[in-house]
């Protein structure tokens, strides 16, 4: 709901292209010609600074709104994948005259791109496809928590938790995902028919809630208020999961639960049933039978036609699989028409292949209301998902059969960084029995795995050995023939012999005094996401990342910490490139706080073996650590959440984070003044109630909105907001709308501001509290939101101004939610809210002038309106 001045200024300045954020915009390289001359000049300047010659190394640009910086981003599969991964980036900061390169080629959790259709022109041939994908993601509720969507692992987990996986540019129900050729479904009404079709064989064990159950969960129907019947429950995985989560649930299946009764419940799930019934009339009977049991809602889910990729034998209106099971693959339109024709009720698509049919109109209304209300107020059931097998496990029958043996062997192989020998392998006899020999087992395992991981493991092992041998030079050397067999084997595989290995280690050790080598390795580490680099000065990173540093830096750190011990007892490590020093910092609750406080700092001069210790508290004020994500890596837990926090804090434009950033007290004061607070790893709106004489903008105090209007002044009622969010909304209203209006038109008069429940009782029939947003975030006597639109509203008038001209200026230059225009000389109603609809409504009198008739305009229509012709001067 935040309305920042920066966005308002941007909206005033020009028409945008590309994907916008409060501080920057993204475009695809195909759109370069649509940029201004200034923007194109900035890009050319950036290419020169980054050392890039053509756009062959990148395909997306990110430009800051003030053109002070830009990034060249490379998404190799931009057009092939629905949410492509970032492979590399070049960030150019013109103010600092600095270019930073980052590669994600070896990352197990790279950033991904969403809403990519916005980067393309409206007439691009693939824009519609990309837009549809985004709409499906929105319908599934995947964009509600932005801290969970920016990186691959968190995104895939989120999608899977909703009951889907992504294939190309489509969301496919997990029950459809079966590379072994075994269809997954729910049920049927008989075990087989005269054709020998085995309907019950389509029911498989589900390793997580199915797509229709996920849809019910997402839309708030599994909060415990409704009973559920699973019509064709198969082996009962959904049913067990619902019962385990204290939801009243029942099920029936003709093969697996034929002894159970079909009973009426609030909700009936007909999940993946229709597609396995080969007889058309039987399908109709199943649909109507399930609907007859639903007192409130029927959920219908089927497999969609784009999942039918196997060359199967045609049978009736579907196909026969190799396992003698029938499958009917539906197009969404075909399914909708089938449901509506045979139930004579409207069906609503809620997810790919999932439709709702409401029998209870009150329930239907609740659903419609939930779709137009801010999602932050929807309660979702906290369901525990059962563990889910990966597609690879199901894809290879032999691998699955010997999975435990092979996984143990694989982990050992990765740990060694080389093929284990027969006297190093666990369960050797079992492997020989299963595969004939260890060599065959290793070859089979390699065929199922990724060679790149083996290569990386080998390189990592060699580096580990180099670091060990280099640091061993400081200690009493152990005779090679007295070392463990596995170590001797490592040396032979990676170096040939111990002499060669020790010579390489000695060469590595001598390089730690070479400043240029240290600087080069620090740059390499930073390019791989290992810490924050200040060129020629320092590299600062989380201590858990030290083991991933290049070997030279690991030796450098190892030499420096001989007197300190384990570096992971601290939180951050700073390598001073020029001075031969290292600093170690320990913070208060680093892992769980977005802005932890410094407790201890240790500086080590490893050349002199001198250690200096500083404790913060009484004598030295503990410093805050800002922008913590810069010292972390995308594979670390909570990295995505920390990134979201840091970006949100940066977008507020309240602080200068150069050097050490603001002092702790100054930081808290400025943050609270703007109604924000830090809660662990989140930046949230303030939960405090401010003094009403506190300024909420450049021109107003909260009191101005509270003691506003004729009725309040005459009654003397306190009219105080009770919800902290109401005060926040009033502040955003003042800063985002009224301050810019006053800057342009001069002083204005507020005629109606905040309206409490008590005040509303004194204005009967003249207002609509459930619609007008004057109640902000207040609750009624039943503890329910008074106005579901949320936000805040004010009525005002500008003396000696045509309010039509004022309204048109607002429409063209500011971001708002709703605006009601009553006349050229009458107060204007304006609001902010979560939706920011930019909606203009003319409140027109009828022909007799007795009654006001609202007329909501289409976007862009208001600027063509002539106020003199539609509204009398009253």
What DSSP string describes 446-481?
HHHS-HHHHHHHHHHHHHHHHHHHHHHTTSPPPPGG
User: Helices 438-448 and 428-435 sit at what angle, rounded to 10 degrees?
Assistant: 80
The pLDDT confidence band at residue 14, using thresholds 50, 70 and 90, is very low
Residue 123 has pLDDT above 50, yes or no: yes
Sheet with 265-271, side-by-side order of all strands: 249-252, 228-231, 265-271, 294-301, 354-358, 348-351
Confidence at residue 284, expressed as pLDDT on a 0 to 100 scale? 94
Residue 293 has pLDDT above 60, yes or no: yes
Cα 809 to chain center, whole Å? 35
Q: Average pLDDT for residues 603-617, to the nearest whole number? A: 85
Q: Count the Cβ atoms, other than its own, within 10 Å of residue 111.
A: 21
- The model's pLDDT over 224-253, given as tens digits with 9 standing for 90+, comes to 889 999 999 888 888 988 998 889 999 999
Q: Of 3.40.50, 3.50.50, 2.40.50, 1.10.287, which CATH number belongs to 162-379? A: 3.40.50
Residue 311 has pLDDT above 60, yes or no: no
Handedness of CA 283, 288, 289, 295 (dihedral sign): positive
Q: Tell me which residue of 768, 756, 649, 749 sits closest to 712, measured CA to CA.
A: 756
Residue 323 has pLDDT above 70, yes or no: no
The pLDDT confidence band at residue 362, using thresholds 50, 70 and 90, is confident
Q: Average pLDDT for residues 254-263, to the nearest whole number? A: 90
Q: Is the Cβ–Cβ distance between 233 and 253 less than 8 Å?
A: yes
Confidence at residue 848, expressed as pLDDT on a 0 to 100 scale? 66
Domain ranges within the chain, ordered by starting residue: 17-141, 162-379, 397-489, 511-625, 702-870
- Coarse DSSP helix, strand, coil percentages of the chain, rounded to the nearest 5 percent: 40, 20, 40
Q: What is the DSSP letter of 734?
A: I
Parallel, antiparallel, or unpaired for β 682-685 and 69-74? Answer: unpaired
Q: Count the Cβ atoms, other than its own, within 10 Å of residue 443.
A: 11
Cα 398 to chain center, whole Å? 37
Burial grade of 520 (CB within 10 A; 0-12, 13-18, 19 or more)? middle
Beta carbons within 8 Å of 603's beta carbon, 6+ residues apart: 581, 582, 583, 611, 612, 614
Give the 3-state secondary structure of residue 249.
strand
Same CATH fold, 702-870 and 162-379? Answer: no
Confidence at residue 780, expressed as pLDDT on a 0 to 100 scale? 93
**Residue 609 dihedral angles phi and psi, to the nearest 5°:** 50, 45
Confidence at residue 203, expressed as pLDDT on a 0 to 100 scale? 37
**Residue 275 dihedral angles phi and psi, to the nearest 5°:** -75, -10
User: Helices 551-560 and 451-472 sit at what angle, rounded to 10 degrees?
Assistant: 30
Q: How far apart are CA 836 and CA 7, in angstroms?
A: 13
According to DSSP, the residues that pair with 64 across neighbouring strands are 24
Confidence at residue 15, expressed as pLDDT on a 0 to 100 scale? 46
Tokens 């003397």 — which residue? 716
Tokens 């003709």 — which residue? 254
- The model's pLDDT over 37-51, given as tens digits with 9 standing for 90+, comes to 999 999 999 999 999
Q: How far apart are CA 828 and CA 288, in angstroms?
A: 53
Q: How far apart are CA 746 and CA 446, in angstroms?
A: 74
Confidence at residue 380, expressed as pLDDT on a 0 to 100 scale? 31
Cα 357 to chain center, whole Å? 30
Give the chain's end-to-end CA distance (angstroms, integer): 34
Q: What is the mean pLDDT of the chain?
A: 85
Confidence at residue 869, expressed as pLDDT on a 0 to 100 scale? 65
In the chain, DSSP finds a helix count (H) and a strand count (E) of: 29, 31
Tokens found for residue 192: 């087989």
Q: How far apart are CA 399 and CA 380, in angstroms?
A: 38
Residue 655 has pLDDT above 80, yes or no: yes
Confidence at residue 617, expressed as pLDDT on a 0 to 100 scale? 82
Tokens found for residue 406: 């092979």
Q: Is the Cβ–Cβ distance between 603 and 611 less than 8 Å?
A: yes
Parallel, antiparallel, or unpaired for β 532-534 and 538-542? Answer: antiparallel
Confidence at residue 288, expressed as pLDDT on a 0 to 100 scale? 95
- The model's pLDDT over 478-509, given as tens digits with 9 standing for 90+, comes to 788 888 888 899 999 999 999 999 999 999 99
Q: How far apart are CA 72 and CA 395, in angstroms?
A: 39
Q: How far apart are CA 105 and CA 148, in angstroms?
A: 21
Q: How far apart are CA 420 and CA 424, in angstroms?
A: 6
Question: Minimum mean pLDDT among 175-179, 281-285, 840-844: which range?
Answer: 175-179
Handedness of CA 353, 359, 360, 361 (dihedral sign): positive
**Percent of the chain, pLDDT > 70?**
87
Give the 3-state secondary structure of residue 90.
strand
Question: Minimum mean pLDDT among 130-144, 527-541, 551-565, 592-606: which range?
Answer: 551-565
Q: Tell me which residue of 356, 358, 250, 355 sits closest to 296, measured CA to CA.
A: 358
Q: How far apart are CA 417 and CA 544, in angstroms?
A: 21
Tokens found for residue 627: 């922008």
Confidence at residue 292, expressed as pLDDT on a 0 to 100 scale? 95
For the CA atoms of the chain, what is the radius of gyration?
A: 33
Burial grade of 381 (CB within 10 A; 0-12, 13-18, 19 or more)? middle
Instruction: Give the Å distances, CA to CA, from 645 to 24, 200, 388, 622, 636.
Output: 17, 50, 31, 21, 15
Parallel, antiparallel, or unpaired for β 265-271 and 228-231? Answer: parallel
Confidence at residue 394, expressed as pLDDT on a 0 to 100 scale? 44
Residue 193 has pLDDT above 60, yes or no: no
Q: Is the Cβ–Cβ distance between 601 and 611 less than 8 Å?
A: no
Q: Of 3.20.20.70, 3.30.1380.10, 2.40.50.70, 3.40.50.300, which CATH number belongs to 702-870? A: 3.30.1380.10
Q: Average pLDDT for residues 550-575, to the nearest whole number? A: 88
Confidence at residue 250, expressed as pLDDT on a 0 to 100 scale? 95
- The model's pLDDT over 662-687, given as tens digits with 9 standing for 90+, comes to 999 999 999 999 999 999 999 999 99
Confidence at residue 206, expressed as pLDDT on a 0 to 100 scale? 36
Give the 3-state secondary structure of residue 741.
helix
Tokens found for residue 171: 């969301």
Beta carbons within 8 Å of 786's beta carbon, 6+ residues apart: 757, 769, 770, 775, 778, 779, 780
Confidence at residue 480, expressed as pLDDT on a 0 to 100 scale? 83
According to DSSP, the residues that pair with 602 across neighbouring strands are 584, 613
Q: Tell me which residue of 338, 440, 448 sits closest to 399, measured CA to CA.
A: 448
**Residue 290 dihedral angles phi and psi, to the nearest 5°:** -65, -40
Residue 371 has pLDDT above 80, yes or no: no
Residue 369 has pLDDT above 70, yes or no: no
Q: Tell me which residue of 126, 173, 205 sits closest to 307, measured CA to CA.
A: 173
For residues 321 and 336, the model is more confident at: 336
Residue 72 has pLDDT above 90, yes or no: yes
The pLDDT confidence band at residue 843, using thresholds 50, 70 and 90, is confident
Cα 591 to chain center, whole Å? 20
HEC profile of 570-590: CCEEEEECCCCEEEEEEEECC
Q: What is the DSSP letter of 237?
A: H
Q: Count the Cβ atoms, other than its own, within 10 Å of residue 261.
A: 8
Residue 5 has pLDDT above 70, yes or no: no
Confidence at residue 600, expressed as pLDDT on a 0 to 100 scale? 92
Q: Tell me which residue of 281, 111, 231 sits closest to 634, measured CA to CA.
A: 111
Q: How far apart are CA 769 and CA 110, in angstroms?
A: 47
**Percent of the chain, pLDDT > 90?**
55
Residue 474 has pLDDT above 90, yes or no: no
Tokens found for residue 340: 């509506």
Q: Tell me which residue of 595, 576, 592 sits closest to 584, measured CA to CA.
A: 576
- The model's pLDDT over 422-442, given as tens digits with 9 standing for 90+, comes to 989 988 999 999 889 999 999
When mean pLDDT is compared over 479-483, 687-691, 708-712, the highest value belongs to 687-691
396: left (phi over 0), alpha (psi -120 to 50) or beta: beta
Number of residues assigned to the chain: 874
Q: Tell me which residue of 849, 794, 787 sits closest to 827, measured CA to CA.
A: 794
Cα 244 to chain center, whole Å? 28
């Amino acid at each position: 709901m935040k309305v920042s001045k920066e966005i308002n200024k941007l909206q005033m300045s020009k028409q945008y292209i590309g994907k916008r954020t409060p501080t920057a915009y993204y475009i695809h390289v195909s759109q370069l010609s649509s940029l201004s001359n200034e923007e194109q000049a900035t890009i050319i300047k950036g290419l020169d600074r980054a050392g890039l010659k053509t756009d062959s190394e990148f395909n997306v640009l990110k430009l800051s709104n003030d053109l002070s910086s830009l990034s060249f981003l490379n998404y190799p599969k931009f057009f092939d994948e629905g949410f492509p991964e970032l492979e590399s980036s070049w960030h150019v900061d013109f103010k600092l005259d600095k270019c930073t390169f980052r590669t994600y080629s070896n990352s197990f959790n790279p950033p991904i791109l969403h809403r990519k259709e916005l980067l393309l022109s409206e007439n691009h041939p693939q824009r519609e496809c990309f837009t549809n994908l985004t709409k499906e993601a929105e319908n599934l509720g995947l964009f509600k928590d932005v801290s969970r969507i920016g990186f691959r692992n968190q995104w895939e987990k989120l999608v899977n938790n909703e009951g889907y996986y992504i294939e190309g540019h489509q969301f496919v129900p997990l029950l459809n995902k079966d590379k072994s050729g075994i269809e997954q479904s729910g049920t049927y009404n008989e075990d087989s028919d005269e054709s020998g079709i085995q309907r019950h064989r389509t029911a498989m064990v589900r390793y997580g809630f199915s797509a229709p159950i996920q849809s019910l969960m997402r839309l708030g129907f599994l909060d415990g208020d409704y009973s559920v019947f699973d019509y064709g429950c198969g082996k009962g995985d959904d049913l067990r999961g619902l019962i385990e989560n204290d939801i009243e649930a029942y099920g029936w299946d003709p093969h697996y639960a034929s002894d159970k009764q079909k009973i009426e419940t609030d909700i009936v799930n007909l999940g993946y049933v229709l597609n396995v019934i080969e007889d058309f009339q039987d399908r109709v009977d199943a649909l109507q039978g399930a609907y007859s049991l639903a007192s409130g809602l029927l959920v219908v889910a089927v497999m969609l036609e784009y999942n039918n990729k196997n060359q199967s034998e045609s049978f009736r209106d579907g196909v026969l699989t190799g396992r003698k099971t029938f499958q009917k693959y539906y197009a969404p339109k075909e399914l909708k028409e089938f449901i509506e024709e045979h139930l004579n009720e409207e069906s609503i698509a809620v997810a790919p292949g999932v439709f709702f049919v409401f029998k209870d109109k009150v329930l239907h209304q609740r659903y419609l209301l939930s779709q137009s209300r801010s999602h932050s107020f929807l309660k979702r059931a906290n369901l525990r998902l059962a563990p889910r097998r990966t597609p690879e496990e199901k894809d290879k029958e032999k691998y699955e059969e010997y999975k435990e043996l092979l996984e143990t062997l694989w982990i050992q192989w990765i740990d060694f960084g080389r093929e284990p020998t027969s006297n190093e392998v666990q369960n050797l006899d079992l492997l020989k029995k299963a595969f004939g020999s260890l060599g065959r087992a290793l070859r089979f395992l390699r065929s199922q795995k990724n060679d790149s991981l083996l290569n990386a493991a080998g390189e990592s092992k060699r580096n580990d050995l180099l670091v060990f041998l280099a640091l061993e030079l400081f200690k009493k050397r152990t005779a090679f023939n007295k070392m463990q067999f596995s170590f001797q084997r490592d040396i032979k595989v990676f170096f040939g012999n111990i002499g060669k290995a020790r010579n390489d280690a000695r060469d590595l050790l001598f390089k730690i005094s070479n400043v240029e080598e240290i600087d080069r390795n620090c740059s390499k580490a930073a390019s791989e996401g290992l810490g924050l680099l200040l060129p020629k000065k320092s590299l600062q990173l989380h201590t858990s990342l030290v083991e991933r540093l290049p070997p030279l830096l690991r030796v450098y750190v190892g030499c420096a910490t001989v007197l300190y011990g384990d570096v992971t007892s601290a939180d951050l490590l700073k390598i001073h490139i020029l001075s031969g020093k290292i600093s170690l910092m320990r913070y208060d609750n680093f892992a769980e706080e977005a802005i932890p406080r410094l407790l201890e700092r240790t500086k080590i001069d490893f050349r002199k073996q001198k250690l200096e210790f500083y404790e913060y508290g009484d004598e030295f004020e503990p410093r805050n650590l800002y922008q913590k994500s810069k010292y972390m890596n995308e594979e670390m837990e909570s990295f995505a959440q920390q990134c979201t926090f840091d970006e949100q804090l940066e977008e507020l434009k309240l602080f200068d984070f150069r050097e050490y950033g603001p002092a702790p007290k100054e930081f808290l004061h400025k943050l609270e003044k703007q109604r924000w607070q830090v809660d662990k790893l989140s930046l949230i709106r303030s939960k405090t109630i401010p003094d009403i004489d506190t300024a909420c903008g450049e021109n107003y105090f909260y009191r101005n909105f509270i003691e506003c209007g004729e009725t309040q002044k005459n009654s003397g009622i306190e009219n105080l907001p009770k919800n902290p969010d109401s005060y926040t909304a009033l502040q955003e209203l003042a800063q985002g709308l009224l301050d810019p209006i006053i800057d342009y038109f001069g002083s204005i008069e507020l005629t109606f501001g905040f309206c409490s429940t008590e005040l509303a009782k004194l204005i009967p029939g003249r207002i609509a509290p459930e619609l007008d947003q004057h109640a902000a975030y207040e609750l009624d006597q039943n503890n329910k939101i008074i106005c579901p639109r949320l936000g805040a509203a004010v009525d005002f008038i500008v003396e000696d101004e045509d309010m039509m001209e004022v309204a048109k200026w607002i429409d063209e230059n500011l971001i708002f939610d709703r605006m009601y225009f009553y006349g050229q000389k009458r107060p204007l109603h304006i609001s902010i809210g979560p939706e920011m609809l930019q909606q203009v409504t003319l409140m027109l009198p009828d022909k007799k002038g007795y009654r006001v008739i609202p007329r909501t305009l289409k976007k862009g229509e208001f600027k063509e309106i002539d106020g003199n012709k539609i509204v009398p001067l009253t």
